[in-house]
Amino acid sequence: MFEPSPQSSLQSRKALLDVLDGIDPHRRPLWMMRQAGRYLPEYRELRAKAGSFLSLCYNPQLASEVTLQPLNRFDFDAAILFADILLIPQALGASLSFQAGDGPVLSTVRSSADLAGLSADRVSDLLAPVYDTVARVAALKPEGVALIGFCGAPWTVASYMIEGRSSTRREARLAAILAPSWFQALIDLIVEASIEYLVSQVRAGAEAVQIFDSWAGDLPAHCFERWCIEPVRQIIDGVRAQIPEARVIGFPRAAGTNLLDFAQRVPVNAVAVDAGVSPRVMGRDLAPLCAVQGNIDPLVLLAGGAALDAAVDDLAAAIPKRRHIANLGHGILPETPIAHVDALVARVRLHDGL
């Protein structure tokens, strides 16, 4: 009978899942937010072929190819689904387009009347192509690589729906402070749709999911619990009511001093942190609560060289690999040289003796 060697057995383990499960990994897991994207020439080629960003998101064959592209170049420990957090508003009934130079443009929700036109009834049907993409990637990805699904957090998604685009988010922030009844109803609707969306991704083959609260830092302290902590907790509870073993990474970007409350009160397997959080805080204050992901500045990766080496070295010194997922503090910048990503991978592996 064939018995795998210890080395081949290690290679079949998924380091990212081990860290999320509280198991010592064979190496420090590494992936990058927006790792499938514009810094890769092969992505730009497929994007042109698809015709539009949304067409690419809804084409399972092309979206799965894009999801897998970084794994053909880099020794990453995870693939992350290629999609967008604004597919949920579109599935709820909002109009959505992406305009060159302006980013996403949505119809706005600023009253109960606007909210009345939205519904979660068709989320599963409209987002079925995304689940197809997940299933394709799950079948094709390398053995030791985990697959991450995702959604946007309710506060961040609501911000886009209220503003109609990426902006200073003034109207959304006012709604959070004043808390009109329609705003709570919008958050509740996004929570409902997000639970269904993430459950379907996990059932299709995602082995972990990340909840992106990109605008968490916009919330004043007295609103943070109600509009960041509580909705994300509700999503996780809803997902685990159907899939008890579901692994979740929470990313309350720029949460500042609210970050510790988030890690203590939201039942995540890991908290992702931005570049403003020091490795010392990550290791001393957060790692005892859950695994920690991040937090290399995308500009440091763009700069490369000694600055990049030092950032990796500081993380390796501050946090043991069993409690850390190496990543950026936000998405990779489109102008990042591919050689710098190679250097990042090599430096992380150097600390593992690989």
Please confirm, yes or no, whether 47 is among the known catalytic residues.
yes
Helix (H, G, I), strand (E, B) or coil at 47: helix
Please confirm, yes or no, whether 284 is among the known catalytic residues.
no
Q: Which of 160, 173, 213, 323 is catalytic?
A: 160
Q: How far is residue 173's CA from residue 149's CA, in Å, rounded to a whole number?
A: 28
Q: Which of 84, 218, 274, 297 is catalytic?
A: 84
Q: How far is residue 49's CA from residue 84's CA, in Å, rounded to a whole number?
A: 18
CA nearest 199: which of 142, 248, 157?
A: 248
**Count of beta carbons in the 10 Å neighbourhood of residue 242:** 13
Sequence-distant (6+) residues with CB within 8 A of 69 are 36, 40, 42, 43, 46
Amino acid identity for residue 111 in this structure: S
Q: Which of 13, 21, 38, 352 is catalytic?
A: 38
Please confirm, yes or no, whether 160 is among the known catalytic residues.
yes
How long a stretch of residues is the chain? 354
Q: Which of 47, 173, 233, 323 is catalytic?
A: 47
What is the dihedral sign for C-alpha 4, 322, 21, 291? negative
Helix (H, G, I), strand (E, B) or coil at 127: coil
**Left if phi > 0, otherwise alpha if psi is -120 to 50, otherwise beta: which for 234?**
alpha
Q: Which of 27, 28, 34, 253 is catalytic?
A: 34
Sequence-distant (6+) residues with CB within 8 A of 265 are 225, 229, 233
**Residue-wise burial string across 10-36, b where 16 or more C-beta atoms lie within 10 A, e elsewhere:** eeebbbbbbbbeeeebbbbbbbbbbbb
List active site positions.
Answer: 34, 38, 47, 84, 160
